[in-house]
């Protein structure tokens, strides 16, 4: 691999205008979670040197801009009994992928849904949807639901079950 | 092992995956909604984190917002899986790494501040292991992340 694939070049630069240095400091200060104290935004504010009101306003603005997806509890699905984790991958026509991806991504059973590149000839799949279940039967039922939704746009799919978590840490950025 | 969860713990895990209050005393606000005390909320969250059921309460960032990341996969001969996984996990840039049932049996996510650094991590892993690293960067994201409806069995 010598040339940088196009996808890797979609760098943070495209989003750089959406958040500034203070926003970044707030992200770094909270990436392990908000402090479990009565006034967590005050605690974060003290750490980064601004008021609690400023911390809340910045978080609100990042939410509105989509830099932050959501603020809330991040459960550990595996610990909660979701032992079957299937990465379902689908070969769908490129010209319909957005329309189909939005439908698959809207299913309650799908936790992530992405367009990713094919690697032909061995890997014809361009739509990735992550499905969790208590067991494989539950995952299979959800796969069948996606297949029904895609209909004849499903030109082949497979499910890659995870057999081991070899490493899992939250996204970390340097301070 | 899964420990029995109280109603309060279940509601904290399921009902507050998004919309956590941006208010001066958010845990007190949640406590009021759930008709319990603020200390009961804080204690329940502490217990959930100790048992591992809750990773954290905080912000979930859009992918590729702070830094650049990609999913990548390798077809590792089974007898080399342990050592190659160790090699991959040795990079601080690698935040997730899963073994999956497929010819491509090692799937990891790498994140770096710059695309060039991300590329060199993938190149290095390929060169050191002698196994091709396929990059699957995100081209478009179709999921609106409001969390994941939990079902208790």
pLDDT in tens, A158-168: 999 998 888 88
At residue B4 the predicted structure's pLDDT band, cuts being 50, 70 and 90, is confident
> Chain B contact for A94, CB < 8 A?
no
pLDDT at B43 over 80: yes
Q: Are residues A70 and A107 in the same domain?
A: no
**Percent of chain A topping pLDDT 90:** 63
Contacts of B89 (CB under 8 A, 6+ apart): A166, A167, B97
The CA angle B30-A78-B44, to the nearest 5 degrees, is 25
Residue A13 lies in a domain: no
Q: Is the peptide bond before B44 cis (omega within 30 degrees of 0)?
A: no
User: What is the CATH classification number for the domain harbouring A27?
Assistant: 1.10.10.10
Residue A50 lies in a domain: yes
Residue with the two structure tokens 């932050």: A68
pLDDT at A16 over 70: no
| pLDDT tens-digit readout, A87-112 | 999 999 999 999 999 999 998 889 88
Average confidence (pLDDT) over B130-153: 83
Average confidence (pLDDT) over B80-97: 95
Taking all residues of chain B, what is their mean pLDDT, rounded to a whole number? Answer: 92
At residue B62 the predicted structure's pLDDT band, cuts being 50, 70 and 90, is confident
Confidence (pLDDT) at B64:
76
Contacts with B, A 23-62, CB within 8 Å: 24, 27, 30-34, 36-42, 52, 56, 59-60, 62
In B, minimum Cα distance to A20 occurs at B66
In A, minimum Cα distance to B4 occurs at A80
> Chain B contact for A150, CB < 8 A?
no
Alpha helices in B21-80 (DSSP H): 26-34, 38-51
Supply the range of the domain harboring residue A132: 84-161
Q: Are residues A156 and A89 in the same domain?
A: yes
Q: Are residues A90 and A119 in the same domain?
A: yes
pLDDT at B1 over 70: no
Q: How many domains does chain A have?
A: 2
Q: How far apart are CA A112 and CA A22, in angstroms?
A: 29
Average confidence (pLDDT) over A56-76: 93
Residue A127 lies in a domain: yes
Query: Closest to B141 (Cβ–Cβ): which among A8, A18, A114?
Result: A114
Residue A9 lies in a domain: no
Q: Are residues A69 and A106 in the same domain?
A: no
Confidence (pLDDT) at A175:
41
User: What is the CATH classification number for the domain harbouring A145?
Assistant: 3.30.70.920
Q: Are residues A128 and A90 in the same domain?
A: yes
Q: Are residues A101 and A157 in the same domain?
A: yes
Q: Are residues A93 and A139 in the same domain?
A: yes
Average confidence (pLDDT) over B36-62: 95
ipTM of this complex prediction, to 2 decimal places? 0.80
Does domain B68-136 bear CATH number 3.30.70.3460? yes
């Amino acid at each position: 691999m010598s040339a940088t694939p196009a996808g890797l070049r979609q760098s943070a630069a495209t989003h750089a205008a959406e958040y500034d240095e203070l926003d970044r400091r707030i992200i770094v200060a909270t990436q392990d979670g908000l402090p479990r104290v009565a006034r967590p935004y005050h605690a974060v504010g003290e750490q980064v040197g601004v008021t609690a009101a400023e911390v809340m306003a910045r978080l609100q603005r990042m939410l509105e801009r989509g830099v932050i997806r959501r603020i809330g509890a991040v459960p550990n699905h595996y610990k909660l009994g979701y032992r079957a984790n299937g990465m379902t991958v689908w070969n769908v026509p490129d010209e319909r992928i957005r329309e189909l991806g939005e439908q698959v991504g809207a299913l309650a059973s799908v936790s992530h849904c992405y367009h990713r590149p094919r690697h032909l000839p061995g890997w014809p799949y361009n739509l990735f949807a992550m499905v969790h279940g208590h067991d494989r039967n539950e995952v299979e039922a959800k796969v069948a639901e996606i297949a029904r939704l895609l209909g004849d746009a499903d030109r082949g799919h497979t499910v890659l079950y995870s057999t081991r978590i070899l490493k899992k840490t939250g996204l970390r950025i340097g301070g | 092992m899964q420990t029995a969860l109280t109603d309060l713990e279940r509601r904290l895990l399921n009902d507050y995956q998004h919309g956590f209050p941006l208010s001066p005393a958010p845990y007190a606000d949640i406590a009021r909604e759930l008709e319990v005390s603020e200390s009961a909320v804080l204690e329940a969250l502490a217990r959930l984190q100790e048992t591992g059921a809750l990773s954290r309460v905080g912000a979930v960032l859009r992918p590729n917002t702070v830094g650049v990341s990609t999913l990548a996969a390798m077809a590792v001969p089974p007898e080399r899986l342990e050592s190659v996984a160790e090699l991959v996990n040795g990079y601080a840039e690698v935040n997730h790494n899963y073994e999956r049932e497929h010819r491509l049996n090692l799937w990891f996510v790498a994140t770096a501040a710059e695309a060039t650094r991300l590329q060199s991590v993938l190149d290095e892993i390929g060169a050191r292991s002698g196994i091709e690293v396929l990059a699957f960067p995100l081209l478009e994201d179709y999921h609106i992340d409001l969390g994941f409806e939990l079902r208790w069995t």
